[in-house]
Amino acid sequence: MTHFRLTALALATVASSPLMANDLDWRISEASGNVQLLHAGLSKVAARGGLVEPGDTIVTGRGARAVVTRGEEYLMVAPSSQLRLPAAEQSGAVTKIFQDFGNVVFMIKKKMTPHFSVSTPYLAAVVKGTTFSVSVTDTGTSVQVIEGAVDVATADGGAHDLLKPGAVAMVNAMDRFRLRIEGDGAARTITSPAIPAAGTTPQLPPAPSAPATVAPAPTVTANAAPRQDVITTAIFEKPVSLAETTGGLVNGTIGDDVQAQFAMVGEGSHAAADTIHAAAASVAATEVASHAETARMEASATVADASAAAKAAEQAASVAEQSNKAAADAAAAKAASDAASAAAAAKANEAAQLARAAAAEAAHAADETAARQAQEAAAMAAAAEAQRAADAAKQNALDAAAIDAANKAAKEAAEQAQRASDQAAQAEADRVAREAARQDAQKQAEQTAKDAAKAAQEAMDRSAEKAARDAAKAADDAAREQAKQLADAAKAAEKAASDAADRAAKEAEKAAKDAEKAAQDAMKVDTPVDMAGDPRGNGPGSPPDKGNNGQGKSGKDAGPLDNLKDVLSSQGKGGKGKN
């Protein structure tokens, strides 16, 4: 367990180094043994300072180790491990790493929101910034937090928990839906809701297996990257006690499973420390010659550094003195600023009072102006209303005179139309009377013919055959003559009725037109004009002695009843002559 503290302190030491690569790219800071970079089916040897591109897979062989850096973030890859970067460029806020197997120690920069995640076949971890270790084997995955906190979850995301320092999270390869948390002498299990029902076998992907060896690249040889922007100091520190460092926070004994996982994590940490030592030895071997040649230069550089340090101390004292003076000047400036602020506040208050007084005066003047304008508007409105009332009264007087004239003309026109209607009704009554008289005459003629026939029959029965024939002939002649006279009378009556109806209709139409014209003329002038004529039927403007008083075209013409009387009289005379 003390190796986790070793890793944390070692990484913390390197974090302050100015020799760092681009903060946006992952690079191989240290590589020892057979470390390969796989990409698109090709492999190449991982070189110090080499770039790890999206989609690359880092594989360490047996006994090989590597340190991968990105700015202030570090990944320490133990032997027989494999991790991958996503193939697509990561434009989002969360950096994703896939760990297939082996052990990796992560030191991630702290941020306010989660920005880093590690996915394994059995477990996933999301962090804001911390130091933790992830181990993946055939039997499962375990996560131990060294510093900070890690949100761990099963692969399906159904069971998750926030892991604190001193606790271990484990997922068994044969039970991937249960997350086991152990630490502080207690253990608990969180079950995912997606766990299959009893009696069913979940479809699980095959467990990853670490290759025995990693073959070197057959065709591609990686050129060593430039030595600039790489870490040349070994990243390690002597082991210390985690219990002593944490003040007893992480200590005691835990269950067998946790011991096994701790052993696995410890092995990974040992491997990481071994990687550090191997890298340091490699660096020392390659630079021992240059150290010998530059010893004298380093000595002179030390003298120069001492002189520079003295000068820097002198400059620091000067800077301190200047800082004190600047602080005094700042205090004086603050006092002056406070005084100026107080004076400005007083002036602002006075200006505000003057502004309020001016606003009150302006409001009063505006009120007086508004009142005066309102009075003027009311007076103008009253004058306009009086003028409208006078115009309305004048118009009402004119309208009343016109309405009276129109009413009088309409009344006279109605009386004229009524007289014409009465005449038409009288003509229709005369026609009906004539039709009734004709029907009565026809019935009388028929009855007379029947009586004559009966008399003839009786005469024939009583008298000789000649007398009977004479009587029958006379009766037949009388009936024929009477029927002819009746037909002529009916035609004359019908013609007279038609003529009377035509005259009545024309007179009614003329009376209606005259009434309409009179009404129109009455609307145009102030005094009505008598355009309807008198009740006796005389036309407008004609003398009373020129009318016909409803007796037809001429006062001397006989009416239809007189014609009917003449017909009947002639029939009566004819009948008497025949008998």
Instruction: Chunk the chain into consecutive blocks of 10 residues (it has 579) and report each block's average pLDDT, rounded to whole numbers.
Output: 35 39 79 94 92 94 95 93 85 84 92 88 85 92 91 92 92 93 90 81 55 44 38 40 47 45 51 50 43 51 63 68 73 78 78 78 80 83 83 81 78 80 82 86 84 79 74 83 84 84 84 84 60 49 49 50 62 51
The two structure tokens encoding residue 39: 């990409």
Q: Are 448 and 482 in contact (CB under 8 A)?
A: yes
DSSP assigned state of 188: E
Place of tokens 């026109």: 413
Measured from the Cβ of residue 550, the count of other Cβ atoms closer than 10 Å reads 15
Cα 31 to Cα 10, 22, 75, 234, distances in angstroms: 16, 18, 12, 12
**Got the DSSP string for 253-293?**
---HHHHHHHHHHHHHHHHHHHHHHHHHHHHHHHHHHHHHH
The CATH fold assigned to 2-250+258-293 is Jelly Rolls (2.60.120)
Q: pLDDT at position 468, please?
A: 64
Q: pLDDT at position 563, please?
A: 60
Q: Do β-strands 35-39 and 116-119 pair in parallel, antiparallel, or remain unpaired?
A: unpaired
Cα 105 to Cα 1, 95, 229, 282, 501, distances in angstroms: 13, 16, 22, 22, 129
- Tell me the C-alpha distance between 516 and 512, whole Å: 6
Q: Where are the domains of the chain?
A: 2-250+258-293, 410-578
Q: pLDDT at position 316, please?
A: 62
Q: Given 3-state DSSP classes, what are the helix, strand and coil percentages for the chain, each rounded to the nearest 5?
A: 55, 20, 30
Is the whole-model pTM more than 0.85?
no
- Tell me the C-alpha distance between 357 and 15, whole Å: 67
Place of tokens 């590589």: 31
- Tell me the C-alpha distance between 266 and 240, whole Å: 13
Q: Are 418 and 535 in contact (CB under 8 A)?
A: no
Q: pLDDT at position 235, please?
A: 40
The answer to whether the Cα torsion of 486, 490, 493, 495 is positive or negative is negative
Q: Are 61 and 214 in contact (CB under 8 A)?
A: yes
**Got the DSSP string for 418-469?**
HHHHHHHHHHHHHHHHHHHHHHHHHHHHHHHHHHHHHHHHHHHHHS-HHHHH
**Got the DSSP string for 123-136?**
EEEEESS-EEEEEE
Instruction: Calculate Rg over the CA atoms of the chain.
Output: 68
Beta-bridge partners for 126: 117, 151
The answer to whether the Cα torsion of 557, 560, 566, 571 is positive or negative is positive
